[in-house]
Structure 1
Amino acid sequence: MSHCFEIRVYYEDTDLAGIVYYANYLKFIERARTEWVRGLGVDQSRLKTEEGIVFAVRRIEADYLTPARFDDMLTVETRVEEIGGARITLAQTARREDETCFVARVQLVALSNTGRPQRLPEALKRAIAED
């Protein structure tokens, strides 16, 4: 299954050449991941407060394929590739209509309040499996 999140490119997202500044794609896919988790019914604030678990990006591989520009409407697709004991690997793609602008493979890790890896909550694993 996959989750889609739409985002418009604003002037502030672009560089001097008028194309999306490379680091802003990371912001776009972060927003998409947040909405994906929210759509699964997971409250990340409560997860942190009640279970002491937060998510951090451990690794990211990114390819910039074609530039997006001011006022483009992008769709960011998020797909689960792998779930481990404490990590989730996602494939994320930013598209403008049928044209792929950016692709990333993102590895997230669940961390405790002390910064140590923490097993993923079973409720989250179930929610992902049911998605």
Structure 2
Amino acid sequence: MDQPAPATGRFDGAAFLFPMRVYFEDTDVMGIVYYANYLKWFERARWEMLRALGVDLLGSQERGDGAYAVTEANLKYRGSARLDDSIIIRSTADEIRAASVLVRQQAWRGDELLVEGALRVGFISPEGRPIRQPDEWRAAFSKLLPAKDPA
């Protein structure tokens, strides 16, 4: 049987775009997306962004090298997604440090910004301590930084 591939998203310049659909399980009794589900969607989009950047997070975890963990999350809710809406999660990197990356993420329905967030993901050892992320991963993230104004 020829199986369709799961949604993977794509890059649009320095932004990673990940498509979502709002399902019944995502909503409350009013058909409005439950607020915590945006965090789940942001997590899925970050995972696919890492995959698209060539970051082998699963391999790193399996080898015992480390993994990313959210260390800070700030979200602002501006609107509500509803049952059957088509949503795009937009992700960019804002800042890269030795052991962490600040990722900006937004949930859009068409031209309407619904939720925006700033999430810091830290690279941690299997024991849960912050460690330096691999240089090649930092280089991959640097492709997502906003362009610097030469002036």
Q: Same fold (TM over 0.5)?
A: yes
Identify the residue that residue 91 of structure 1 maps to in structure 2. 104
Residue in 2 that maps onto 1:61: 74
Q: Distance in 2 between matches of 1:105 and 1:8?
A: 22
Larger RCO, structure (CA 8 Å, separation 6 or more): 1
**TM-score of the superposition, structure 2-length normalised?**
0.84
Match in the other structure for 2:117: 104
Larger radius of gyration: 2
Aligned length: 131
Q: How far, CA to CA, are the matches of 1:129 and 1:87 in structure 2?
A: 12
* Alignment gaps of 5+ in structure 2: 1-13, 145-151
Greater share of residues in helix: 1
Report the TM-score, using the length of structure 1 for normalisation: 0.96
CA shift digits 1:72-112 (9 cap, x unpaired): 00000001000001010011000000000100000010000
- Structure 1 stretches of 5 or more lacking a match? none
Partner SS state of residue 60, structure 2: helix
**Aligned partners of 2:93 and 2:142 also within 8 Å:** no
Aligned-residue offset at 1:114: 1.0
Out of 21, 36, 41, which is 1:28 matched to?
41
1:127 and 1:85 mapped to 2: Cα distance?
13
C-alpha deviation, 1:64, in angstroms: 0.9
Give me the CA root mean square deviation. 1.0
User: In the alignment, which of 13, 17, 21 is matched to residue 8 of structure 1?
Assistant: 21
